[in-house]
Chain A
C-alpha cells in the first residue's frame, strides 16, 4: 500500500466525475427530492415520516454508492484500464481505498445535503445528534462501495451490473425494518434480517431517532456495519486478479 498512489487514484476518480456534472447532480439531488416527496406523502402522519425518513438517510448513500461503484469498477475491468493498472506497480489496496475515498467524499456531501434538508427544512424530528446520523450514512456509503466493488466482479456488462441492484439491495430493503419492525416478521425472515448489514444501518438510525446520547446499541450497530463494509471490501480485493484467463 502506498498513500500517494491511493490519493492519486481518489483524485483521478473525482476528476472523472467532474467531467460528468449530470451524474453528480443526480447523485446529490435525487435523495433530497425523495425526502421532499416522502415528507408530503405522509403529510398527515409526521411520525411515520420521522421513522422512515431517518432510515432513508442511511439507505440512500448505500444504494447510490453501490450503483456508482459497481458501474465504475466494471468499466475499469472492461476497458482494460484495470489490466493496465495491475500490470503497473499499483497495489490492489491502493485502488480499492482510492475508490472508497473518492466515493466516500461524495457520500459525505450527499448526506450533508439530505440530512440538512430533512432536519431543518422538512422538520424531521430526531432526538439524537445529527452528527451520528451522518456517521451512519458514511458507514452505509462505505458498505455500498464495498458491495458494488464485489458485485462488479460477477457482472459481465453494465446491463448485468444494474440488475444486481434489485438482487442485492431490494431483499435487504424489505427485511431491514423499514416497512415493518423486524421482530414482527416471520421467524425465518427475522433470522435472515439479523445477518443482513442494512438491518443494522436502519437500527442505528432508529437509535439516534429515539435517544439523546450514544447508546450501546448504536455503537454495536455502527460497528457491525463498519465491519461488514471492511469484510466485503476484502472480498472485493480478492476479485481483483493481476493474472486473468
Chain B
C-alpha cells in the first residue's frame, strides 16, 4: 500500500515518511466569505483521498490552497514536507483544474510538449520529454487523437488532455479537481483504474468529486460541507459507523445531523461531527 519508494526514486528531495498533506487550522477567506473554516486534516502518502461534498462547499478552494494558487490562506498547510505554494513544490505536484486548462488552438501533442518544456526545460532533455509526452497521452487513452486540435475535441476528451498535462513527469502528488465530470461511465471506470495504477506507483492522489459512487473507490475520504470537514475516514469505516449501505447514505445522514445540530440548541449537536460542533455552536441558531 505504501510503496512510494519505487515511484519517486531519482529525486533527492525530502521524501519524508510523514503525511503528504498536513493542515492545521486551515482557513481561507474569499471576499466577505470564510470559505474554509479552520480545517485540521492529513492526507496519507501513496493513497487516493477523495474530497467530497456538495457544490460550493470549498473543495476547489482547498485544492487551490494545496497547490499554492489560493490567496488569503491562514493556518499551517504543509505539502510533501514543505509549506504549500513554495517554489520547490511546483515541479512535484500535478494539478488539474475543474475547467480543462489547455490551449484550444494547439493540438493535443503540442499542448503536452509545451507544458513538458516548462516542467523539464533544456535541449538535453528532449528525449525524456518525448517519452513523458507519449506516456501521458497513452495513460489517458488519446493516442488516436494526438494530432487533433484541442478545440475540436469533445468535453470528455478535453478534460483528459488536461489530466495528461498533470501526469507529465510522474509528480509525487496529483491534485485533481473533479476530473471525471461529464465523462461517460466507461471512461470514468477507466480513469479510476488509471488513478489506482498511478497510486500503486507511489503517487499520492487528492481527487474531488460530487459523485458519491466514486467515493467507494477511494482509500480515504474527506467529506466536506460549508467549509468544514464532516468526516475523515475510510469508506468502509464510514459506512460502518453511520450504519448505512453506501457512502452516499452515510454522507446524507451526516449532513442531516449537522443541519439539525445547527438548527437546534448547541448542546444537541451530534456526536458524529466533532470538527463542526465547535464552530456551528457559535453561529446564530436560527435563520
Contacts of A15 in B (CB 8 A): 106, 110, 114
We find that the number of chain B residues with CB closer than 8 angstroms to chain A is 35
Binary flags per residue of A1-42, CB closer than 8 Å to B gives 1, else 0: 010110011011001100110000000000000000000000
Q: Given contacts A19-B149, A87-B90, A244-B70, is CB(A8)–CB(B101) below 8 Å?
A: no
Whole-angstrom distance between the Cβ of B130 and the nearest chain A Cβ: 14
Whole-angstrom distance between the Cβ of A94 and the nearest chain B Cβ: 8
Q: How far is the CA of A245 from the CA of B72 in the complex (A)?
A: 7
Contacts of A20 in B (CB 8 A): 105
Find out whether the CB atom of B68 lies under 8 angstroms from the CB atom of A87. yes
Q: How far is the CA of A62 from the CA of B70 in the complex (A)?
A: 35
Interface segment, one of A75-83, A141-149, A188-196, A229-237: A75-83
- Interface status of A216 (Cβ within 8 A of chain B): no
- Interface status of A211 (Cβ within 8 A of chain B): no
- Interface status of A85 (Cβ within 8 A of chain B): yes
Find out whether the CB atom of A243 lies under 8 angstroms from the CB atom of B69. yes
Find out whether the CB atom of B71 lies under 8 angstroms from the CB atom of A244. yes
Find out whether the CB atom of B106 lies under 8 angstroms from the CB atom of A16. yes
A-side residues, CB < 8 A to B, are: 2, 4-5, 8-9, 11-12, 15-16, 19-20, 79-81, 83-90, 241-245
Find out whether the CB atom of B91 lies under 8 angstroms from the CB atom of A88. yes
Q: How far is the CA of A8 from the CA of B106 in the complex (A)?
A: 14
Count A-B contacts at CB 8 Å. 85
Whole-angstrom distance between the Cβ of B73 and the nearest chain A Cβ: 8
- Interface status of B1 (Cβ within 8 A of chain A): no
Q: Name, among A9, A88, A244, the residue most crowded by chain B CB atoms within 10 Å (CB to CB).
A: A88
Q: How far is the CA of A16 from the CA of B104 in the complex (A)?
A: 9
Binary flags per residue of B97-114, CB closer than 8 Å to A gives 1, else 0: 101111111100010001
- Interface status of B93 (Cβ within 8 A of chain A): yes
Q: Name, among B73, B90, B149, the residue most crowded by chain A CB atoms within 10 Å (CB to CB).
A: B90
Whole-angstrom distance between the Cβ of A52 and the nearest chain B Cβ: 36
Return the contact of B101 from the options A2, A79, A89 (Cβ within 8 A): A79
Find out whether the CB atom of B106 lies under 8 angstroms from the CB atom of A242. no
Considering only residues 62-102 of chain B, those with a C-beta below 8 Å from chain A are: 67-73, 85, 87, 90-91, 93, 95, 97, 99-102
